[in-house]
Structure 1
C-alpha cells in the first residue's frame, strides 16, 4: 500500500482537515488545524506531502520521524500541528486497514467510556450559572469556566471568587468545576488567587501562567492544594517534562497541535511516571475529538476529555461533516468507547468539500488591551 494523495480542507479559522489517500482505496482523515493559523498549517502540510507520496502509510513511526525532524527546523505550533493532522490520518488508515479502532493498535482499551466536560462561560464574568446548570442537568459531571476579561498583574480576586461561588451554588457539590485562567494571570497574582480557590472545591486550575513562564509552576504547586493543569500550548515530550517535574496534576496536550496520536501517547506515558493524568485539549472539531478519544481509551491515566461541540445537547453544524454523529453521543456525561475502525467515525467527504472556505476567514481570537492601551493576554 502506498500514499497517492494528500489534500487539505480549510473550513473556518479554527477548523481544517487533511485527507490521506492510498492506492488500495483506504483513506484516512485528520484535523490539521491551529486556531487562527489554519492556512499557515495547511501550507506546512503541503510542504510535508513531499515526504509522504509513494510511502507506505503503515510505517507511522518512521514517517513521523521524517515529518517532525526531516526539515532541520522543527517543533513549534505550526509544524507540530501539521505533523499532528497527518499523524491522525495515518493512524486512521492503519486502523481501517486492520479493521480495528486505533486504541486496539495502542495496546487495547483500558476503559469502556470517557468522561467529557463542557464549558459554561459568560460574556462578562467568570462562568455562567445558568449554562452550568443546563450542562449538569444533561449529565455533565465536570464543567469548566474562564474569566472573560483581562486579569491585572495584581488585582482583587474577590469578583472572580464571587462568580465561582455562584457557579458552585448552581450545580451543587456533586459536579466538578475547572477554572481556566488562559495564561492571563501573573505569577504573583496566581500565588494570591490559588489558595483562595480551595474552599470552593475547584477540581483544577488550567494554565494559570503563560507557557513561557512554565519554570515558575513549581512555586504555584507549593502555594496551594488546588491541582494545576497545563499543556495546550506545549508541543512535545521535552516541553512537558519540565511541567511534570514542577508537579502539575494534569497535562493537556492537543492531539491536533502536539504531534498527533504518536507524540501524545508518549506524553501520556511520560505523565504516568509522575503520577499525573491526561486531559487532552480539544476545542475544535469531531475528527480531532475522535483522535483524542482513541488515546483516552488506550492509556491508563486519562482524566477527562474536553469538547466544545456540546454533544450532550444534540447534533450541531460542526458534527454535520460526519455521516453519523451517533458514535459521539454521550451517555451520562461519558462517551462510550468507539468501536468503528480507525478513528471510529465516518467523515462525509461531500459535506467537507462543500464547506471549504476559499475566501477571507472570519477574525480569530480577539486582541485585548488594558485601560492604558498596553497589550493584555486573551
Structure 2
C-alpha cells in the first residue's frame, strides 16, 4: 500500500489537519501543528512529502527515521511537529488496514478507560471557582488552571497571595476527592517557582506544570528538591533526548505533546523512558480531535499513563471545539471522569472530511499573544 498524496487543512480556531491518501483507498488523518506557526508546519509537511509519496505506508518506523535523520539539520518544533502529524496519520492507516485500533498495535490495552481533565478559565477566585463547578457538573474529576498572568522574576506578597487564593477557590469546589493541576506556563523564574510551589503545598495540587521555560531545564532539579508538589513538564520538548535532563531532575510527570514530539512513535518511546524513572505520563493536548485520539491511543497502551488533557471548552476554542469535525463525537463521551477505550480501527475516530474542507476554506492565522510587563519589557506568555 503506497502513499499517494498528503494534504493539509488550516482549521479554525488554530489547528492544522493532515490527510494522507494511499493507492488502496485507505486514508489516515493526523494533526501536525505548532500553535501560531501552522503555515510553517504545513510547508514542512509539503517538503517531507517528497520522501513519502510512493513509499510503503506500513513502514512507519523506517519513514520516521528517514524524516527525522535523513536531513543534515534535525529536530526543533517545526520539523518534529510535521513528523508528528504524519506519524499519526500513518498509524491511522495501518490500524484501518488491519482492522484494529492503534493501541492494539502498540502491545494492546493496559487499561479500559482513561481519566481526563479539563481547563478552568478566569483570573479571579470567583471566576475559577465557577469554572471548576462547571467542569464537575460536566463529569470531570480533575481540572487544570493557570497560576497567573504576567509574573515578574520576583513577585509581591499580594501577587503570590492572589495565585494561592485562585487555587484555593478551585480546591474548595473540588473537595478532597477531585484534583487540580496548576500550570505555571513557563512564566516564572526558578526562584519564584520555588516560592509558589511551597505556598501551594497545603492545597495539594495534582502537579505543577512547566514551572520554568525549557531553556532552564537544568534548574528543575533545584525546584523538585525544594517542594513536595509533583512537578510536570514536557510540552516544549520534542524528543526522548530532550526529556533526559528533565527526567534526571526528579520530575513526577512527563507531558510530551503528540502533535509536537514526533507523534505516536516517539511519544510511546518517551513514555517507556519515563517508566524507567518511575515517572508518570500525562500527554499535553490543547488541540483538536485528531491529536486527542492519538494521545488516547498511547495512554491506552502505556502502563504509566496518569491522566489526559482535553481542550474541550478551552478558552482558545472560539468558533470551533474539540468535538467538531467528527462524524461520531460520542467516542469522547465522559463517564465518571473517564473516556472509555477507543475500539474503532486506526485512531478510533471518523473525521468529517467535508466539515474539515468547509472549515479550511476560512482558515486562520492564529498567533500567540505578546505580553509586556508594566515597565514595557517582554513577558512570558
Question: What TM-score does the superposition give when structure 1 sets the normalisation length?
Answer: 0.96
Secondary structure of residue in 1 paired with 2:4? strand
- Structure 2: distance between partners of 1:31 and 1:249: 27
Please say if 1:132 is aligned against 2:122.
no
Alpha-carbon distance, 1:320 to partner? 2.4
Alpha-carbon distance, 1:126 to partner? 10
Alpha-carbon distance, 1:85 to partner? 0.2
- Structure 2: distance between partners of 1:296 and 1:178: 18
Q: CA-to-partner distance for each residue in 1:195-228, whole Å, 9 max, x for gaps?
A: 1211111111000101100011000110000000
Secondary structure of residue in 2 paired with 1:340? coil
Please say if 1:259 is aligned against 2:262.
yes
What is aligned with 2:339?
335
1:41, 1:81 within 8 Å by CA — same for their partners in 2?
Answer: yes
- Structure 1: distance between partners of 2:148 and 2:195: 19
Please say if 1:279 is aligned against 2:282.
yes
Please say if 1:116 is aligned against 2:78.
no
Count of aligned positions: 374
Secondary structure of residue in 1 paired with 2:335? coil
- Pairing partner for 2:350 from 328, 343, 346: 346
- Structure 1: distance between partners of 2:337 and 2:129: 18
**Larger deviation, residues 123-132 vs 361-370:** 123-132
Please say if 1:92 is aligned against 2:92.
yes
Q: Within 5 A, what are the aligned runs for 1:162-201? A: 162-201=165-204
What is aligned with 1:5?
5
Change (3 A) 1:166 1:358: closer
What is aligned with 1:296?
299
Secondary structure of residue in 2 paired with 1:309? coil
What is aligned with 1:225?
228
What is aligned with 1:248?
251
What is aligned with 1:15?
15
- Pairing partner for 2:376 from 361, 373, 376: 373
Unaligned runs of 5+ in 1: none
Secondary structure of residue in 1 paired with 2:312? coil
Please say if 1:27 is aligned against 2:27.
yes
- Structure 2: distance between partners of 1:211 and 1:256: 17
What is aligned with 1:145?
145
Question: What TM-score does the superposition give when structure 2 sets the normalisation length?
Answer: 0.95
Q: Within 5 A, what are the aligned runs for 1:193-212? A: 193-212=196-215
Secondary structure of residue in 2 paired with 1:10? strand
Unaligned runs of 5+ in 2: 315-319
Secondary structure of residue in 2 paired with 1:6? strand
Secondary structure of residue in 1 paired with 2:334? coil
Alpha-carbon distance, 1:341 to partner? 0.1
What is aligned with 1:355?
359
1:28, 1:93 within 8 Å by CA — same for their partners in 2?
Answer: yes
What is aligned with 1:58?
58
Secondary structure of residue in 2 paired with 1:202? coil
Change (3 A) 1:162 1:320: closer
1:118, 1:306 within 8 Å by CA — same for their partners in 2?
Answer: yes
2:143, 2:180 within 8 Å by CA — same for their partners in 1?
Answer: yes
2:124, 2:166 within 8 Å by CA — same for their partners in 1?
Answer: no
Runs in 1 of length 4+ with deviation above 6 angstroms? none
Secondary structure of residue in 1 paired with 2:323? helix
1:44, 1:79 within 8 Å by CA — same for their partners in 2?
Answer: yes
- Structure 2: distance between partners of 1:126 and 1:289: 30
- Structure 1: distance between partners of 2:13 and 2:44: 16
2:123, 2:148 within 8 Å by CA — same for their partners in 1?
Answer: yes
